[in-house]
Structure 1
């Protein structure tokens, strides 16, 4: 199985772009990357049963999806080992950036900013490449 970014269509009206999925070219099946699945489910739940026609960037709702999108655009032909290394670096850099943002948010006392930053950090904090990719590619 290979990691790809796909567009998920919900209720024939909403296109959710750049969702990381494992794709099997042999059996033509797809599986949403497990660490982003809860955020995709939450995204769909917030749209409701009768959503209006719209286009949603999943990378705006999930840090891992955003990083995968950036890396796959920058290095589309990277080997598994290269992608693993680049993803580990990108996760570390994004966590450091978000920790800096958390410091500013805390100093300013902005509760909404703090909450958003905590959510973004939690999406990255438990990600371990080997757990999800050791048998996938």
Structure 2
């Protein structure tokens, strides 16, 4: 199976772009990457049963999806080992950036901003490449 970014269509009206999935080239099946499933489910539930026609970038909902999008655009021909290295670096850099931003949010005493940053950090902090890719690639 290969890691790809796909567009998920919900209720025939909403296109959710850049969702990381494992795709099987032999049988054309795909599975949403496990660490992003809860955020995709939440995104869909917020849309409701009768959403209006719209286009949603999943990278705005999930930090990990955003990083995969950035890395796959920058390195489309990377091997699995190269992508593992690049993703580990990108995750660490993003965590450092978010921690710096958290300092500004604390200084500003902006609780909503701090909660958003904590949510984004949580999306990145538990990601371990081997746990999600060793059986799929």
For the aligned pair, the TM-score class normalised by the smaller chain equals over 0.9
Match of 1:70, SS state, is: helix
Q: Distance in 2 between matches of 1:44 and 1:80?
A: 30
| Unaligned stretches of 5+ residues in structure 1 | none
Q: Distance in 1 between matches of 2:33 and 2:26?
A: 18
**Are residue 75 (structure 1) and residue 81 (structure 2) matched?**
no
- List per-residue Cα deviations over 1:60-98 (Å, max 9, x = no partner): 000000000000000000000000000000000000000
Q: CA deviation at 1:46?
A: 0.0
Q: TM-score, normalised by structure 1?
A: 0.99
What is the aligned residue count? 137
Q: TM-score, normalised by structure 2?
A: 0.99
Q: Distance in 1 between matches of 2:135 and 2:109?
A: 44
**Are residue 62 (structure 1) and residue 62 (structure 2) matched?**
yes
Q: Superposition pairs for residues 79-118 of structure 1, below 5 Å?
A: 79-118=79-118
Match of 1:18, SS state, is: strand
Q: CA deviation at 1:27?
A: 1.2
Q: Distance in 2 between matches of 1:79 and 1:24?
A: 17
Q: Distance in 2 between matches of 1:46 and 1:30?
A: 23
Q: Distance in 1 between matches of 2:69 and 2:136?
A: 18
| Unaligned stretches of 5+ residues in structure 2 | none
Q: Distance in 2 between matches of 1:80 and 1:112?
A: 37
2:13: which partner in 1? 13
CA RMSD of superposed structures (Å): 0.4
Q: CA deviation at 1:25?
A: 1.0
Q: Distance in 2 between matches of 1:10 and 1:29?
A: 18
1:38: which partner in 2? 38
2:29: which partner in 1? 29
